[in-house]
Amino acid sequence: MNATLTDQEFDLFKDLIYQQVGIRLDAPKKTLLVSRLGKRLRELGLPSFQAYFDCVSGKGGEEELTKLLDLISTNKTDFFREPVHFDFLRDVILPQVASTRTLKIWSSASSSGEEPYTIAMT
């Protein structure tokens, strides 16, 4: 199975994902969607992305919809998850900013809080 995701199918998934969880998928994310959902299509033996869309959006598709949302979102949270980012914060940003003004940091959609705690520890 080597399914192709049409622009119309991408729009269906894009709208469904936005309606369900507020994640916006722009056109450059089409490749990401194909790579992450293609394996799922093969696992389920589905012939097309349209068939998968029908599966997740139809009656009784709630469990599969949850799997779809897990596939397209980042579900990893760790302390110091991306060390180079925290090195940059510690070595470049903090020395420039901290001595002259208050630094406010916003961490959006942190799963269980490791990222903001890591920022505070940096």
What's the pLDDT tens digit per position in 71-117? 888 766 777 777 898 889 889 888 888 777 777 777 766 667 777 77
The pLDDT assigned to 1 comes to 56
Domain boundaries, the chain: 7-72, 83-121
The yes or no reply on domain 7-72 and CATH 1.10.155.10 is: yes
Instruction: Tell me the three-class secondary structure of the chain, residue by residue.
Output: CCCCCCHHHHHHHHHHHHHHHCCCCCHHHHHHHHHHHHHHHHHHCCCCHHHHHHHHHCCCCHHHHHHHHHHHCCCCCCCCCCHHHHHHHHHHHHHHHCCCCCCCCCCCCCCCCHHHHHHHHC
What's the pLDDT tens digit per position in 28-50? 899 999 999 999 999 999 999 99
- Indicate the pTM of the whole model: 0.65
